[in-house]
Structure 1
């Protein structure tokens, strides 16, 4: 095996309390001071969520094979009924083609819940109005605390495939809780609110402590941890973030420190390509998707005083090299793309530009400004653009 030398930069690490790990709060503060239109849009969205009721895990029509509706359940996105079987079982895979049946289970309600916490907590942060914090806390209690509605802290039935494994989920289901990553930044903002009582904070922490234990011990979780592609990357990012949230700094530091060897250098080739993502039917999409995970971990690393942008193998593998490999595709048509991208060509290239913009916000001297400044559509439709 070719020898790999890891170069990491360690910087001063400040206090570990109330850590906003993923969001760019400096960008948000600037937008607030300048009264950018996204701030008004954020408040309008939050006002709508004040009256919205959550759909919970116990509201789904189906019941997991455990018999407990408190267990989260979703279905594999790219799995469809077998047309040559009378009952369609077992389902067969169509990579890149989403089955609308996924909307019947818990994936979308979980995402809507997490988004509500993000929006309401940000509105509380920029306005100081307790009504937003109170609604966010109410929603947190619905999902994590209240006995009648709470989700059990496991993903044993995530991304199930009808007709396979007797209803047990797959490691891929762990990816569904990636929605909690940014949500926890919102939870950190709520800690300054008088509406977020200490016992409620502790209850949410206990839920994530149990979930971290599940991630570390469950056979289904181990499947995802052992994944060699974006799923394995997302597993590490989630575990590091949740460990940070519950105060397990040793676990967070270990995951971040091992990340270059375990994920970056194993998934990125010396030329910057990500072979396991390029073999998909949405190759540019998955390469960009995995890049977002790399940058999420970079943000977590900065909290721990570890600069993953400086991680470079002896043969040149690095996050920047992964971006550089993708840049030429920005000027291509989908028909000229040397891999497969069966949908969302323009949307994926826009996401890639945003990740380049995001990285530039992490460094003192911009690396990619000339690439994205003319191409990037700075839409006023999403508060998310401020959080890069």
Structure 2
């Protein structure tokens, strides 16, 4: 592909900044590599988190009833927390506000799904590290409650996500709340190597995620989310890709998503210099740009094969993942170089240890990306930031399940 002047300048800036990372290496750290030992780096972190989640019981949606939900107790329901009622007219549609979230908005299902992803990811990673079945067993206990048990299982759809009261139907923007299903789906092949996940249970989980994939690709709400030109569209792509990867009997869904990324996603979201134009226009441009970068990077990893890499696919005038990573790397290296508006909230708490850096380091053989990934803080306890951090356990994304 031809290289535009803007792409050339962006990549040149990345090369000039790279030595700063090498100089900033901690004394005694391992040599610079594009393939860091994630298991060793995250070992203590994973086991500490897994021990914490071993003491947590499942909290499926049926244990968190919503008085306003038009669906059944099995249906995911949430209300947009940046919309507020009109005090003078309680029956009027809610209006959007920036700043603090609406404390009366129902978000318990959203928060429970995030916690499920954190728990299953940590427990699965601990099982991968130690081969101790107690971690796998507890992860499967959560999965049974959420996706298999008839009395407690979640409906494989997000019909009522992100509702703006008094409306009774969900919005395309609500689909992003299902992004944490991605790491749950990514965990399942690892758990399948445990005796705690017998074949009938594995088949039932695969059926749930296949049904959810069918909903993502056939429902009107999900279709509108797919076509959004920002992180909402990327969330749809990542969720669809992780579900499709579980269906090992049919490669057609992954092939369709690969085509979607190359023919539509890149053009809709990425400028020639790697910028995400629809993210920088949002109230939290830095956070949303990094969130979007992470989801697209994870999708690239899922959609690439030994014979075809979407990581290296660029449009003729420049846009592609290579330019997107190169554009954002300097801003993660030094947040102060961010040339756009600062986020309304939590700007100084970012960038955190972005999974896009690790995945791109491996894809492009760029050790400076991995070095920066290793040096950044791996976790946050700030809920709005947790919700824009789609991968909590990178070990599950750089490791292959044991046969």
1:110-139 residue CA offsets vs partner (Å, 9 max, x unmatched)? 111122211111212212222111111111
1:160 alignment counterpart: 163
Does the residue aligned with 2:274 lie in a helix, a strand or coil? coil
Which shows bigger deviation, 44-53 or 98-107? Answer: 98-107
1:287: how far off?
Answer: 1.3
Does the residue aligned with 2:180 lie in a helix, a strand or coil? helix
- Does residue 130 in structure 1 map to residue 130 in structure 2? no
2:328 alignment counterpart: 326
Question: How far, CA to CA, are the matches of 1:275 and 1:365 in structure 2?
Answer: 25
Question: Cα–Cα, structure 1 residues 102 and 299, in superposed 2: closer, same or farther, change >3 Å?
Answer: farther
Question: Cα–Cα, structure 1 residues 78 and 257, in superposed 2: closer, same or farther, change >3 Å?
Answer: same
Contact 1:284–1:341 (Cα < 8 Å) also in 2: yes
Question: Cα–Cα, structure 1 residues 227 and 46, in superposed 2: closer, same or farther, change >3 Å?
Answer: same
2:376 alignment counterpart: 377
2:75 alignment counterpart: 71
1:361: how far off?
Answer: 2.8
2:345 alignment counterpart: 343
1:1-388 matches, within 5 Å, as 27-29=37-39, 31=40, 38-63=42-67, 65-82=69-86, 84-87=87-90, 89-95=92-98, 97-102=100-105, 104-164=107-167, 167-247=168-248, 248-303=250-305, 305-327=307-329, 329=331, 331=334, 333=336, 337-351=339-353, 355-366=356-367, 368=369, 372=372, 376-377=375-376, 384=393
Contact 2:123–2:138 (Cα < 8 Å) also in 1: yes
CA RMSD in angstroms, aligned pairs only: 2.9
1:201: how far off?
Answer: 0.6
Which shows bigger deviation, 92-101 or 201-210? Answer: 92-101
Does the residue aligned with 2:160 lie in a helix, a strand or coil? coil
1:377: how far off?
Answer: 3.2
1:196-232 residue CA offsets vs partner (Å, 9 max, x unmatched)? 1111111111111211121122222122122122211
Contact 1:257–1:306 (Cα < 8 Å) also in 2: no
Does the residue aligned with 1:306 lie in a helix, a strand or coil? coil
Contact 1:54–1:109 (Cα < 8 Å) also in 2: no
Question: Cα–Cα, structure 1 residues 192 and 351, in superposed 2: closer, same or farther, change >3 Å?
Answer: closer
Question: How far, CA to CA, are the matches of 2:341 and 2:195 in structure 1?
Answer: 53
Contact 2:353–2:375 (Cα < 8 Å) also in 1: no
Does the residue aligned with 1:158 lie in a helix, a strand or coil? strand
Q: Unaligned regions of 5+ residues in structure 1, if any?
A: 1-23
Question: How far, CA to CA, are the matches of 2:296 and 2:107 in structure 1?
Answer: 31
1:289: how far off?
Answer: 1.2
Does the residue aligned with 1:74 lie in a helix, a strand or coil? strand
Question: How far, CA to CA, are the matches of 2:379 and 2:265 in structure 1?
Answer: 34
Question: Cα–Cα, structure 1 residues 104 and 275, in superposed 2: closer, same or farther, change >3 Å?
Answer: closer
Question: How far, CA to CA, are the matches of 1:379 and 1:297 in structure 2?
Answer: 20
Does the residue aligned with 1:349 lie in a helix, a strand or coil? coil
Aligned length: 352
1:255: how far off?
Answer: 0.7
What is the TM-score normalised by the length of structure 2?
0.78
Question: Cα–Cα, structure 1 residues 207 and 64, in superposed 2: closer, same or farther, change >3 Å?
Answer: farther
Does the residue aligned with 2:162 lie in a helix, a strand or coil? coil
Question: How far, CA to CA, are the matches of 1:67 and 1:378 in structure 2?
Answer: 39
2:17 alignment counterpart: none
Contact 1:64–1:71 (Cα < 8 Å) also in 2: no
Question: How far, CA to CA, are the matches of 1:114 and 1:170 in structure 2?
Answer: 22
Does the residue aligned with 1:188 lie in a helix, a strand or coil? helix
